[in-house]
Amino acid sequence: MNAIISASELASDLAGGTPPVLLDVRWQLSLAKAPFDGRAEYAAGHIPGAVYVDLDSELAAAPDERGRHPLPDLDVFGAAMRRAGVSTGTPVVVYDGGLGWAAARAWWLLRWTGHPDVRVLDGGLPTWEGDLETAVPTPAAGDFVPVPGAMGLLDADGAAALARSGVLFDARAGERYRGEVEPIDRVGGHIPGALSAPTNENVGTDGRFLPAEQLAERFKSLGAGDGSDVGVYCGSGVSAAHEVLALAVAGIPAALYVGSWSEWSSDPNRPVAVGPDPQ
């Protein structure tokens, strides 16, 4: 099953006999005093039938020693999905404001906890050409119960080991990987052995994913796709989910290090590499 869906395909599916559950996960990283308000954006207009899901409170737990966006409590996540109408036997489509990171986080969590049919709207809301609505739907409660383990998950020790034994991608911007700038975390740099593979290089200028063949070539040129185990991390496990999604589009399974650099760099005993050299 393809992990992404186009706007035209979504419109066709919504008009069909088994329309997907639609989740609006608009969110963006903001360092401003007035943070981005995804719920307000949703209230101003969303794809008809979509239910808003909050990344910070329903797709992640509160920041702690595990990082800025640790895994959510599964009871909280499961309740949010059932409230939105998610059932195991019903397809789900997730979208955000276009960057794709938040939608990919929801996609990964649903897939990791066992939902078999989840896709991300390629390019997000900007690609939707249909009407928007402001009415808040009240779907019938779903029956989805999350059971973790269906996709790969890394902790800090697992990420360190994978950087030595397989392929560990750092999905952040190159300057953060090299340690030239670090706007958020305690220290700049990367996990020793990790390879720089910025998420923004997986999409074109229109925000849509590059063709699967092109993505496969990109990741193969970086050492993935030859049978090696692959993992991805970023700042806090959000943009890395987008890279795991890109790898899935390319046909390459990958694990997610959810704690990512926000967890790794918080411990002064963990090693940090700087510069363009992985080591």
- The C-alpha atoms of residue 53 and residue 86 are separated, in whole angstroms, by 12
* Residues 229, 255 contacting (CB under 8 angstroms): yes
- Joined together, the tokens standing for residue 252 give 């390459």
SS3 43: helix
- The C-alpha atoms of residue 21 and residue 3 are separated, in whole angstroms, by 15
Which amino acid type is present at position 119? R
Name the maximum alpha-carbon separation found in the chain. Answer: 56
- The C-alpha atoms of residue 85 and residue 140 are separated, in whole angstroms, by 6
**How far, in Å, are 60, 166, 176, 192, 263 from residue 272 at the CA level?**
26, 18, 12, 6, 12
Non-local (6+) Cβ contacts of 77 within 8 A are 58, 59, 109, 113, 146
Label each residue of 50-109 as H, E or C. CEECCHHHHCCCCCECCECCCCCCHHHHHHHHHHCCCCCCCCEEEECCCCCHHHHHHHHH
Among 234, 244, 245, 246, which one carries the catalytic annotation? 234
Catalytic annotation present for 234: yes
Nearest one of 188, 170, 174 to 237, comparing CA atoms: 170
> What residues act catalytically?
234
